[in-house]
Amino acid sequence: MLQNKGGIKVNTKEVVIYNILKRAEEIVNNPEFKKKYPDIQAGEYLYAKLHNKIKLKRLLDILGNKAEKISLREINYIADALNVPVNKLFESKGSIH
């Protein structure tokens, strides 16, 4: 469990998933990215970057919060794909940049 800025305890896994999705959305909504790949969605982007490291079903389970646990190896792969330091994925909601 993590504590957010308001002192409320939050589920670490949910914070990581939120930050993964937020960062992926930031990437695919970037105007330069949109010019090159106008129709790609965040999940498609992640799978394209991770397909040789994380299977599609596993990635969907992680992103859909259906995975019981997420390994540090998987978090590291995802952080690399998103081009962010691993610790950024653990920061409280709304703080990733």
CA distance 27 to 2: 26
pLDDT at 18 over 90: yes
pLDDT band at 96 (very low <50, low <70, confident <90, very high): very low
Take residue 61 and report the two structure tokens written for it: 């389970």
Record the tokens describing residue 2, joined without a space.
């993590």
Question: Which helix (H) or strand (E) covers residue 2, if one does?
Answer: strand 2-3
48-82: pLDDT as tens digits: 999 999 999 999 999 999 999 999 999 999 999 99
Q: Where are the domains of the chain?
A: 2-90
